[in-house]
Amino acid sequence: MTEICFVRHGQTDWNIKKKIQGTTQTVLNERGILEARLCAIHLQAKKWDRVITSPLLRAVQTAEIINEQLRNLPITYDDCWIERDYGIATGWTYEKMISAYQAGEIHDIEENEHISKRVQLGLEKLLTLYRNERIIVISHGVTIVAALNIGLAHPLPFEKIHLQNGSLNVMKHKNNKWKVESYNELFHMNAHC
Protein backbone atom coordinates (compact mmCIF):
# COMPACT_ATOMS: atom_id res chain seq x y z
CA MET A 1 0.00 0.00 0.00
CA THR A 2 1.25 3.49 -0.89
CA GLU A 3 0.31 6.30 1.51
CA ILE A 4 0.59 10.00 0.81
CA CYS A 5 0.19 12.79 3.31
CA PHE A 6 -0.38 16.02 1.38
CA VAL A 7 0.60 19.07 3.42
CA ARG A 8 -0.51 22.50 2.31
CA HIS A 9 2.41 24.91 2.72
CA GLY A 10 2.56 27.21 5.72
CA GLN A 11 1.08 30.70 5.75
CA THR A 12 2.59 33.63 3.83
CA ASP A 13 1.83 37.35 4.05
CA TRP A 14 -0.09 37.02 0.78
CA ASN A 15 -2.37 34.47 2.45
CA ILE A 16 -3.21 37.03 5.13
CA LYS A 17 -3.92 39.69 2.49
CA LYS A 18 -5.99 37.16 0.48
CA LYS A 19 -3.80 37.78 -2.55
CA ILE A 20 -3.51 35.15 -5.25
CA GLN A 21 -0.01 33.68 -5.16
CA GLY A 22 -0.14 31.26 -8.05
CA THR A 23 3.40 30.54 -9.21
CA THR A 24 4.88 33.65 -7.55
CA GLN A 25 7.79 32.98 -5.21
CA THR A 26 6.53 34.02 -1.77
CA VAL A 27 8.04 33.05 1.58
CA LEU A 28 6.60 31.77 4.83
CA ASN A 29 5.84 34.31 7.53
CA GLU A 30 6.31 33.60 11.26
CA ARG A 31 2.94 31.87 11.48
CA GLY A 32 3.81 29.73 8.42
CA ILE A 33 7.08 28.64 10.01
CA LEU A 34 5.19 27.65 13.17
CA GLU A 35 2.62 25.73 11.09
CA ALA A 36 5.40 23.79 9.37
CA ARG A 37 6.99 22.97 12.73
CA LEU A 38 3.66 21.75 14.12
CA CYS A 39 3.17 19.56 11.05
CA ALA A 40 6.64 18.11 11.60
CA ILE A 41 5.93 17.29 15.24
CA HIS A 42 2.77 15.46 14.23
CA LEU A 43 4.31 13.68 11.24
CA GLN A 44 7.27 12.32 13.22
CA ALA A 45 4.87 9.91 14.97
CA LYS A 46 4.99 7.72 11.82
CA LYS A 47 7.81 6.43 9.68
CA TRP A 48 8.01 8.23 6.32
CA ASP A 49 10.18 7.26 3.36
CA ARG A 50 10.57 10.53 1.48
CA VAL A 51 9.40 14.09 0.92
CA ILE A 52 8.22 15.40 -2.45
CA THR A 53 7.64 19.14 -2.83
CA SER A 54 6.49 21.76 -5.23
CA PRO A 55 9.52 23.84 -6.26
CA LEU A 56 7.82 27.07 -5.16
CA LEU A 57 9.69 28.65 -2.25
CA ARG A 58 6.82 28.58 0.28
CA ALA A 59 6.45 24.82 -0.28
CA VAL A 60 10.22 24.22 -0.25
CA GLN A 61 10.54 26.08 3.07
CA THR A 62 7.70 24.01 4.53
CA ALA A 63 9.33 20.80 3.27
CA GLU A 64 12.74 21.72 4.72
CA ILE A 65 11.29 22.56 8.15
CA ILE A 66 9.34 19.30 8.23
CA ASN A 67 12.30 17.31 6.95
CA GLU A 68 14.64 18.62 9.66
CA GLN A 69 12.37 17.02 12.25
CA LEU A 70 12.14 13.78 10.25
CA ARG A 71 15.94 13.38 10.12
CA ASN A 72 16.58 14.43 6.55
CA LEU A 73 14.65 12.11 4.28
CA PRO A 74 15.32 12.31 0.54
CA ILE A 75 13.60 15.42 -0.93
CA THR A 76 12.46 15.55 -4.55
CA TYR A 77 11.24 18.73 -6.28
CA ASP A 78 8.43 18.05 -8.75
CA ASP A 79 6.53 20.52 -10.97
CA CYS A 80 3.46 18.26 -10.90
CA TRP A 81 2.75 19.65 -7.41
CA ILE A 82 3.11 23.35 -8.27
CA GLU A 83 0.22 25.77 -7.66
CA ARG A 84 -2.25 26.78 -10.35
CA ASP A 85 -0.98 29.45 -12.74
CA TYR A 86 -3.37 32.38 -12.32
CA GLY A 87 -1.86 34.38 -15.19
CA ILE A 88 -2.53 38.11 -15.01
CA ALA A 89 -4.65 37.61 -11.88
CA THR A 90 -1.56 36.72 -9.84
CA GLY A 91 -1.23 39.26 -7.04
CA TRP A 92 -4.88 40.27 -7.19
CA THR A 93 -7.36 39.65 -4.40
CA TYR A 94 -9.72 36.72 -4.87
CA GLU A 95 -12.70 39.07 -5.13
CA LYS A 96 -11.10 41.04 -7.96
CA MET A 97 -10.11 37.86 -9.80
CA ILE A 98 -13.58 36.31 -9.53
CA SER A 99 -15.25 39.50 -10.73
CA ALA A 100 -12.88 39.85 -13.70
CA TYR A 101 -13.18 36.15 -14.57
CA GLN A 102 -16.98 36.27 -14.52
CA ALA A 103 -16.87 39.37 -16.74
CA GLY A 104 -14.76 37.45 -19.26
CA GLU A 105 -11.72 39.66 -18.73
CA ILE A 106 -9.30 36.84 -17.81
CA HIS A 107 -8.37 34.07 -20.22
CA ASP A 108 -4.99 32.84 -19.01
CA ILE A 109 -5.83 31.01 -15.77
CA GLU A 110 -4.75 27.37 -15.76
CA GLU A 111 -7.92 25.30 -16.23
CA ASN A 112 -9.09 22.67 -13.72
CA GLU A 113 -8.74 19.94 -16.35
CA HIS A 114 -5.07 20.79 -16.89
CA ILE A 115 -4.39 20.77 -13.15
CA SER A 116 -6.16 17.41 -12.81
CA LYS A 117 -4.06 15.88 -15.61
CA ARG A 118 -0.85 17.26 -14.10
CA VAL A 119 -1.74 15.85 -10.68
CA GLN A 120 -2.75 12.49 -12.17
CA LEU A 121 0.70 12.34 -13.77
CA GLY A 122 2.26 13.16 -10.40
CA LEU A 123 0.37 10.33 -8.69
CA GLU A 124 1.35 7.90 -11.46
CA LYS A 125 5.01 8.89 -11.01
CA LEU A 126 4.78 8.31 -7.28
CA LEU A 127 3.32 4.84 -7.81
CA THR A 128 5.92 3.96 -10.43
CA LEU A 129 8.92 5.21 -8.46
CA TYR A 130 7.85 4.74 -4.84
CA ARG A 131 5.20 2.02 -4.69
CA ASN A 132 4.45 0.80 -1.15
CA GLU A 133 6.19 3.79 0.42
CA ARG A 134 4.87 6.41 2.81
CA ILE A 135 5.35 9.81 1.18
CA ILE A 136 4.88 13.39 2.34
CA VAL A 137 3.97 15.76 -0.50
CA ILE A 138 4.17 19.50 0.18
CA SER A 139 1.93 21.37 -2.21
CA HIS A 140 -0.77 24.02 -2.62
CA GLY A 141 -4.53 24.24 -2.06
CA VAL A 142 -5.89 23.80 -5.58
CA THR A 143 -3.33 21.13 -6.42
CA ILE A 144 -4.14 19.09 -3.32
CA VAL A 145 -7.88 19.35 -4.04
CA ALA A 146 -7.18 17.96 -7.53
CA ALA A 147 -5.36 15.01 -5.94
CA LEU A 148 -8.11 14.41 -3.41
CA ASN A 149 -10.70 14.39 -6.19
CA ILE A 150 -8.96 11.36 -7.69
CA GLY A 151 -9.55 9.46 -4.45
CA LEU A 152 -13.12 10.56 -3.74
CA ALA A 153 -16.30 8.91 -4.98
CA HIS A 154 -17.85 12.37 -5.37
CA PRO A 155 -15.26 15.00 -6.40
CA LEU A 156 -15.08 18.32 -4.59
CA PRO A 157 -15.68 21.52 -6.56
CA PHE A 158 -12.30 23.26 -6.86
CA GLU A 159 -13.76 26.67 -6.07
CA LYS A 160 -15.78 25.57 -3.03
CA ILE A 161 -13.06 23.88 -0.99
CA HIS A 162 -10.48 25.85 0.94
CA LEU A 163 -7.69 23.84 2.50
CA GLN A 164 -6.08 25.62 5.42
CA ASN A 165 -2.36 26.37 5.53
CA GLY A 166 -0.56 23.52 7.24
CA SER A 167 -3.49 21.14 6.78
CA LEU A 168 -2.89 17.41 6.44
CA ASN A 169 -4.65 15.40 3.74
CA VAL A 170 -4.14 11.64 3.53
CA MET A 171 -4.68 9.30 0.58
CA LYS A 172 -3.83 5.61 0.25
CA HIS A 173 -3.41 3.49 -2.86
CA LYS A 174 -4.71 -0.02 -2.29
CA ASN A 175 -6.26 -2.60 -4.63
CA ASN A 176 -5.36 -0.43 -7.64
CA LYS A 177 -7.26 2.65 -6.52
CA TRP A 178 -6.75 5.78 -4.48
CA LYS A 179 -8.89 6.44 -1.43
CA VAL A 180 -9.02 9.60 0.67
CA GLU A 181 -8.57 8.79 4.34
CA SER A 182 -8.87 12.37 5.63
CA TYR A 183 -8.62 15.95 4.44
CA ASN A 184 -8.11 19.44 5.83
CA GLU A 185 -7.02 18.02 9.19
CA LEU A 186 -5.88 20.71 11.60
CA PHE A 187 -5.94 18.96 14.99
CA HIS A 188 -2.13 19.25 15.19
CA MET A 189 -2.49 23.04 14.94
CA ASN A 190 -5.34 23.39 17.42
CA ALA A 191 -3.47 21.43 20.07
CA HIS A 192 -0.58 23.93 20.06
CA CYS A 193 -2.05 27.31 19.12
> 15: annotated binding-site residue?
yes
> 9: annotated binding-site residue?
yes
> 11: annotated binding-site residue?
yes
Question: Could you confirm whether 42 is annotated as catalytic?
Answer: no
3-state DSSP assignment of residue 180: strand
- The one catalytic residue among 83, 140, 185, 188: 83
> 84: annotated binding-site residue?
yes
CA distance 157 to 102: 17
> 78: annotated binding-site residue?
no
> 86: annotated binding-site residue?
yes
The DSSP secondary-structure symbol of 4 reads: E
Per the CB < 8 A criterion, the answer to whether 149 and 68 are in contact is: no
Q: Select from 18, 23, 4, 3 the least CA-distant residue to 165.
A: 18
> 102: annotated binding-site residue?
no
> 192: annotated binding-site residue?
no
Helix ranges, 44-111 (H): 57-69, 94-102
CA distance 124 to 138: 17
- The one catalytic residue among 9, 140, 173, 188: 9
Alpha carbon 49 to chain centroid, angstroms: 18
Question: Could you confirm whether 83 is annotated as catalytic?
Answer: yes
> Phi-psi region for residue 175, left (φ > 0), alpha (ψ -120 to 50) or beta?
left
> 14: annotated binding-site residue?
yes
CA distance 173 to 134: 10
> 92: annotated binding-site residue?
no
> 93: annotated binding-site residue?
no
Q: Select from 140, 112, 128 the least CA-distant residue to 173.
A: 128
3-state DSSP assignment of residue 97: helix
Which segments are annotated as binding site for substrate?
8-15, 58, 83-86
**Residues classed as catalytic:** 9, 83
